[in-house]
Chain A
Amino acid sequence: MADQLLQQVVNSLLIGSVYALVAIGLTLIWGVMNVLNFAHGDFLMIGMFISFWCYTLLKMDPLFSIPVCAAALFLLGAGIYRFIISKVMKGPGLAQLVVTFGVSIFLANLAVMLWTPDFRLIEKPLLSGTWSLGSVQLSIPKFVASVGSVVVSAAVLLFLKKTRTGKAILAVEMNRDAAQLMGINTEKINSLSFGLGSALVGIAGAFLSMYYYIYPQVGGLFGLISFCIVALGGFGSIEGAFIAGILIGLVQTLGGYFFDPAYKYALVFLVYLITVWIRPQGLMGS
């Protein structure tokens, strides 16, 4: 029993840290622009497919396609911001919510058209197999994806806190008008943040492609879960998103184990509702 519980906790951490990386990308965009990107999960899907095609066509392992995914998603995100999102920023709030649904439907179905709705799997990734640590089984690709996600998350936090550009992003997040008066080009920061947030989810996509099924609708659930994580962690908070990501991983895995696997995602949503009821601003929000 104790062994199984330990195994479940390990599983929670493995998925929770990847959730955290996905959610940090989302919270960066949300925090800087107050835009809720419903296409975030579909960006993840695109990242997974890029990794898949790099593997299939170029014999490139997912581990090496991480920079490719990051760069491609950065361009996709910045482009979608420049040509679509920026045009609704001054419009009514409802349009800002709805427009990214359009992007989401467009991308998911573009993937269906280009690559069919089939499920795909990278069959022989460089990393495979499991380590046995006592009674706990540790899948190697999941472990590397998890550690990688933590490293990338920490790097983002360091970038935001220590570099000039990072500080400019945080300044815009705190107060857009004041940042503009201080000479920060807020429009450029918007594109940059959207690109950066998308690049992070692209990296998460490359990690996930090492062990997860790849199909056009894969983003839907990841997207919804990352919304819950972001809102749970608190508006725009990177640290909050990371903690909430791990927390949601625990809820999903332990809930599925002790309660009913069919309800594991329902539990995630329920925890979200209860949390915002008690703390509408999220765990780390002010």
Chain B
Amino acid sequence: MKTFTKRQISISGAVLVLLALYPLAVSGSFAMHLMIMVFLFATLGVAWNIMGGYAGMFSFGQAAFFGIGAYTSSFLFTAYHVNPWIGLLAGGVAAAAAAALIGIPCSNLRGHYFAIASIAFAEIVRIHFNNWKLIGAAEGLTIPMQDESLRNFMFHSSKAPYYYIMLAFLLLSLGVCAWVATSRMGFYLRAIKESHDVAKVLGVDVVRYRMAAIMISAFLTAMVGTFYAQYILYLDPESVLILPISVQIVLVSMLGGAGSVMGPVIGAAILLPISEFTRVKLGFKGSGLDMIIYGTLIMLISVYQPQGVWGILQKIGRKKK
């Protein structure tokens, strides 16, 4: 079985070259920021997809893993001067450990119950971080300025390095997702999604594979959290641990197509420009109009595009052949 067709490889190659050249072609920090946010949410969506799209565990609490990642590296750096790259790995491990902890009570939950449990978990983390003095409680953490270098994971003169790092993270997570999807684990996860009970009867270790999916997803999500902290250089619970972040992650995946490797990337590429533009153009007055449009968009996607754009693109691609 060939996993990729020649056509797919050449299209992906062309897209990659274009993306690599993008920072050279555009000027202006908004254009760069926008693409960084597209990559960032695409990566978060890909990570969500491993547990949500393949295994059917619809998590609405990804912000917890994102926040744990961001906080772990930032705390280790501000308190002990630990290099952020090591902090990134530590954050991933911390998030995976948290995922294991929450995965145990949730390992048998399905559908709505899982969704609510994931929100409950994320809310506990948010409330706790808001009151945890060691990590700055509600005031949050500010990451002190460093010289700009890849080693320090900090850049001041240009956003381009952040752009390339986030693109690399996206490719890495796509690789992990493709590996999961094509491996035996992906097969089992889909079986569990189709029917929990049938999979169990057939001898699939349901709890083990579900846990593995949650932990991989948490690790990748936390990694993006560290990136976000190094990019914004400030974090507090109300900016990284909130429900709207979790919802946006789900939305990106659903719009693109949950359960396909590339789906969340397409979803992020469509949704983020819309949400960032409305935020910049309409959000400054605090009138709520940007969020009214966002809410309307969510309803429209759910009603008219619930299967995701990726499916439509594939159909068009097949017809052309």
Contact = CB atoms under 8 A, between A and B. Distances in A.
Nearest to A216: B288
Nearest to A113: B288
Contacts of B291: 105-106, 108-109, 112
Contacts of B292: 105-106, 109-110, 113
B274 to A, nearest CB: 14
B127 A266 contact: yes
A88 B306 contact: yes
Interface residues of A, number: 48
A106 B295 contact: yes
Contacts of A96: 302
B108 A84 contact: no
Interface in B278-318: 286-289, 291-292, 294-299, 301-303, 306-307
A92 B123 contact: no
Contacts of B130: 262
Contacts of A112: 286-288, 291
Residue among A97, A262, A270 having the largest count of chain B Cβ atoms under 10 Å: A97
Residue among A93, A117, A216, A274 having the largest count of chain B Cβ atoms under 10 Å: A93
B302 A280 contact: no
Given A98-B251, A106-B296, A262 B127 contact: yes
Contact of A84 (B52, B124, B303): B303
Residue among A93, A107, A273 having the largest count of chain B Cβ atoms under 10 Å: A273
A91 interface: yes
The interface residues of chain B, by DSSP majority, are classed as: helix
Contact of A93 (B111, B121, B296): B111
Contacts of A263: 127-128, 131
Contacts, number: 146
A102 interface: yes
A227 B61 CA distance: 14
B124 A280 contact: no
Contacts of B127: 262-263, 265-266
A87 interface: yes
A91 to B, nearest CB: 4
A224 B112 contact: no
Contacts of A201: none
A101 B298 contact: yes
Contact of B303 (A97, A99, A280): A99
B117 interface: yes
Interface in A209-247: 216, 220, 224, 227-228, 231
A196 to B, nearest CB: 20
Nearest to B304: A87
A94 interface: yes
Interface size classification for chain B: 35 or more
A109 B285 CA distance: 13
A112 B131 CA distance: 28
A117 B286 contact: yes
A84 B133 CA distance: 44
B144 interface: no
A142 B265 CA distance: 50
B295 A224 contact: no
Contacts of B287: 112-113
B116 A231 contact: yes
A105 B302 CA distance: 14
Nearest to A102: B298
13 contacts: A91-B307, A92-B307, A93-B58, A94-B258, A95-B306, A99-B303, A101-B247, A102-B295, A224-B120, A227-B116, A262-B127, A273-B117, A277-B105
Interface of B: 52, 58, 60, 102, 104-106, 108-109, 111-113, 115-117, 119-121, 123-124, 127-128, 130-131, 243-244, 247, 250-251, 254, 258, 286-289, 291-292, 294-299, 301-303, 306-307
